[in-house]
Amino acid sequence: MSTFENRVNPSHPQLPDAVPEQSDSSTEVAARVYTNRYEIKYLVAPERLPEIDAVLGEALRRDVNGVHEGGYYVHSIYFDSPDYRYYREKIEGELVRVKPRLRIYRTSLDGPPTGIFLELKGRYDRIVHKRRVSIDRLLAERLLYQTPVHPNGWAAESPVLSEFQYLSHRFQLRPCVSVLYHRTAYFGAYWPDLRMTFDRIVLCSPATSLNAASEDFAQIIPCGQTVMEVKYNDKLSRFILSQLHSLGLQQRNFSKYATSLERCFRGLGGDRTVH
């Protein structure tokens, strides 16, 4: 299969039991930190994928953690305060903001988790810092049910969990919305810090259980469209920049979290579902 249209087709239900995006083992508690990381987002119609492949395909290599050509599923459960503090920070354009979330990886749409992480995705203006720690299902459920974690246990070992506990106590955080999508990911063939992801079938649900079924989710972008993200450190390669420019793609300020929250709770900021 030579085109991104084929590569991002989530038609392969069985994938290896791997933890995508990060090679850390499931028992490791050290969080990864990205410094001076930037993201550019595009909303791509399905008929543009072959053209993107022709222009960028030779410059990219598949993420080894994705392994199978079919990609993997990402299920994110976001936390926010009763007055939606983090949502308002995003909508109001605060330069410094954070998004606490659980991120669950699956090899099939309704399959069991192959990896669970607690993440704090922070942003300073355009700079992104993502810190995460691998956790087990029991701890994930304790966080979802807002059960305090003993300070001498996980919180003492993990700065990410410790900070989450602090934020949770200070702002009364609770799980508020889930986002589910299919992802295929690539790294730059010549630029190791470059990463490109293609997210399809982007869905949302007010259900915030680890066992939420796919039928509980609703679509938030038009059928067939793909969220393409370009992620890099410090500066984007001139070659990649020129190739993106040649494609004439329009950069989008699109938040899966904010759009999902508005889709599930119509009273929040009107309906900004992407068209």
State the DSSP string of the chain: --SHHHHT--------S--TT----TT--PPB---SEEEEEEEE-GGGHHHHHHHHGGGEEE-TTT-STT-EEEEEEEEE-TT-HHHHHHHTT-SEEEEEEEEEEESSTTPPEEEEEEEEEEEETTEEEEEEEE--HHHHHHHHTTPPPPTTTHHHH-HHHHHHHHHHHHHT-EEEEEEEEEEEEEEESS-TT-EEEEEEEEEEES---TT--GGG-EE-S-TT-EEEEEEEESS--HHHHHHHHHHTPPB----HHHHHHHHHSTTSSS-----
- The whole-angstrom separation of Cα 136 and Cα 179 is 20
pLDDT of res. 153: 57
Q: Which amino acid is at 81?
A: S
Provide the residue range defining the domain that includes 61.
28-264
Query: Does residue 269 lie in a domain region?
Result: no
The pTM of the full predicted model, rounded to 2 decimals, is 0.83
Strand partners, 101: 78, 119
pLDDT of res. 183: 93
Query: Does residue 87 lie in a domain region?
Result: yes
Query: Does residue 22 lie in a domain region?
Result: no
pLDDT of res. 155: 55
Number of domains in the chain: 1
pLDDT of res. 25: 32
pLDDT of res. 212: 81
Query: Does residue 95 lie in a domain region?
Result: yes
pLDDT of res. 207: 93
CATH number at residue 232: 3.20.100.30
Consecutive 10-residue runs of the chain (275 residues): their mean pLDDT? 44 32 34 67 94 93 69 95 95 91 91 93 87 93 79 67 92 95 93 93 93 87 90 92 93 92 78 43
What is the per-residue burial (b if ≥16 Cβ within 10 Å, else e) of 121-137?
A: bbbeeebbebbbbbbee
Query: Does residue 2 lie in a domain region?
Result: no
pLDDT of res. 23: 36
Query: Does residue 8 lie in a domain region?
Result: no
Which residue's entry shows tokens 């246990």?
Answer: 153
238-247 and 49-56 helices cross at what angle (nearest 10)? 150
Query: Does residue 201 lie in a domain region?
Result: yes
Query: Does residue 47 lie in a domain region?
Result: yes
> Structure tokens of 264?
């599930």
